Amino acid sequence: LLQRYILSIVCMALFLARQAGFLRVWPIILAVGLLALGGCGGSSSGLSPEQVRRVFRYNQPEALTSLDPAFTRNQANIWAVSQLYNGLLELDSTLQPAPALARRYTISPDGLTYTFWLRPGVKFHDSEAFTEGKGRPVQAADFVYSFKRLLDPATASPGGWIFRGKVLEDNKGNSSDTCFVAANDSTLRIHLKEPFIPFLSILTMPYAFVVPHEAVEKYGKDFREHPVGTGPFQFKLWDTGNVLLLHKNSGYWRSDAQGNELPYLDAVQISFIADRKTEFLTFLQGKLDFLSGIREGSRDLVMNQDGSIRADFQGRFTVQKTPYLNTEYLGFQLDSANLTGEQAAQGRALRDRRVRQALNYAINKPELVAYVLNHVGVPGNSGFVPAALPSFSPAKVPGYTYQPQKARQLLAAAGYGPARPLKLRLSTVAERKAVGEYLQKNWADVGVQVQIDINQAATQQELV
């Protein structure tokens, strides 16, 4: 529906937590001065640089469910987990796979064998799971364990799909014992059953982060709240629903281009304020450094209709706009086999391609972006691919434009009209209420009756 920009409020001059960390993928940024415990810098607080601890505070409205990378299926979990763990590869600034814990790799000519040489000197975080509480070096066998754990039915990870059906299988169709091989402590081989071009990109996903078997075995199912990884920050405290505190990993393996130790930050503090208005007020009070998105009710306070920052906020924030790797979309429930009554009738109606096309043509996306979203985004007129990706092509994918008369014609051809109106239910969350109401109005203009159901975020995710 929309190629979105994310409007973010973030502490400036910060911090490269890691190359693939906070600031790379959070594009429209409103920035304020560097935050430190004890004051806004050593000179103004009277504290020396050694006494000032740099803490980045951001809010995550959606509650975390796990800090186990095997269960990082939503944004809330991914952001936190990505500061605690690493994988063989990561995405660089051009969204191409680049070395992370693997210093280099090769692919066999037939595309079936991937060989990775691990970076020396990388250690897991200190943890009670290890002898004397000291983190040990990461070895190729740790990746074998982590990947097989993903595929183990006992783990019940939603991430098993990244390997299932791709790696070498036995004659029963199960992953082979030799699909992941530690040739020695620093060399890992992955054998595929057939070439799969996106495989390197898949290895950048949090599901493929490495975990130590000692910690999983010690904590069992509670490993979700006792994470042990190799990332720039290590776990300190998780008060469920209130705060997650991560401390700097002083033994982190990465440095910046000038050879300075990373991360720059001493800690990351994540709060869980579910109400967006309260979240925004907390930021204005100086108690947060970053907000992921300015939502309804707060957007008009900060932004003009054209997307610029209001005069009373000028000088307080620096605004940067870049495309965000996200597409807001409408999902149609087409499977009515397990549905009854009204929901089954809706599913049958939506299986008619003409109905889906009509709903597309009825949406005035430019007006939606301008008047509901304050120009935070661009109309998604060219398919599902976000504009920031190299494969984005408005010429090859013309998409749907606003043509209400064509929408009425398609609905009539499908058998709907004043005497038999199409009736739909639209499920969404509170922060998308204004968007839902705008869609409701657009569709009413072409004779479609829509009821909006507002759900909690967790409920909405389960429904989807």
Each residue's pLDDT tens digit, 370-394: 888 888 788 888 878 887 787 788 7
Q: Where in the chain is the domain with CATH 3.90.76.10?
A: 85-224
pLDDT of 26 > 70? The answer is no
Of 123, 145, 143, residue with least CA distance to 134: 123
Q: Where in the chain is the domain with CATH 3.40.190.10?
A: 2-61+232-320
Quote the DSSP letter at residue 55: E
Specify which residues 453 forms β-bridges with. Answer: 427
Query: What pLDDT, on the 0 to 100 scale, is given for residue 25?
Result: 28
Instruction: For residues 358 and 351, give the distance between their C-alpha atoms in angstroms, rounded to a whole number.
Output: 12
pLDDT, tens digit, 9 for 90 and up, residues 146-158: 999 999 999 999 9
Quote the DSSP letter at residue 54: -
SS3 7: strand
Q: How confident is the model at residue 317 (pLDDT cuts 50, 70, 90)?
A: low
Contact (Cβ atoms closer than 8 angstroms) between residue 410 and residue 355: yes
Contact (Cβ atoms closer than 8 angstroms) between residue 285 and residue 19: no
Q: Where in the chain is the domain with CATH 3.10.105.10?
A: 327-363+400-463
pLDDT, tens digit, 9 for 90 and up, residues 340-363: 777 788 888 999 999 999 999 999
Contact (Cβ atoms closer than 8 angstroms) between residue 123 and residue 230: yes
Q: How confident is the model at residue 336 (pLDDT cuts 50, 70, 90)?
A: low
Q: How confident is the model at residue 295 (pLDDT cuts 50, 70, 90)?
A: low
Find the mean pLDDT for residues 306-317: 76
Q: Which CATH superfamily is domain 85-224 in?
A: Dipeptide-binding Protein; Domain 1 (3.90.76.10)
Find the mean pLDDT for residues 314-318: 68
To the nearest 10°, report the CA torsion of 421, 426, 431, 436: -20
pLDDT of 32 > 50? The answer is no
Of 356, 368, 378, residue with least CA distance to 437: 368
Distance of CA 340 to the CA centre of its chain: 34
Count the alpha carbons within 13 Å of 179 in the hemisphere toward its beta carbon: 21
pLDDT of 31 > 70? The answer is no
Number of H helices, E strands in the chain: 13, 19
Instruction: Tell which wins on pLDDT, 295 or 180.
Output: 180
Instruction: For residues 212 and 220, give the distance between their C-alpha atoms in angstroms, rounded to a whole number.
Output: 12
Full-model pTM: 0.76
Contact (Cβ atoms closer than 8 angstroms) between residue 317 and residue 9: yes
- What is the chain's length? 464
Q: What is the CA radius of gyration of the chain?
A: 25
User: Which CATH number describes the domain made up of 327-363+400-463?
Assistant: 3.10.105.10
pLDDT, the chain, mean: 84
Contact (Cβ atoms closer than 8 angstroms) between residue 238 and residue 128: no
What would be the CATH architecture of the domain defined by 2-61+232-320?
3-Layer(aba) Sandwich (3.40)
The single-letter code of the amino acid at 82 is S
Query: What pLDDT, on the 0 to 100 scale, is given for residue 445?
Result: 98
Query: What pLDDT, on the 0 to 100 scale, is given for residue 413?
Result: 98
pLDDT, tens digit, 9 for 90 and up, residues 43-97: 344 444 444 579 999 999 888 999 999 999 888 899 999 999 999 999 998 889 9
Torsion 29-429-244-133 (CA) sign: negative
Among 32-46, 125-139, 399-413, the least confident range: 32-46
Q: How confident is the model at residue 301 (pLDDT cuts 50, 70, 90)?
A: confident
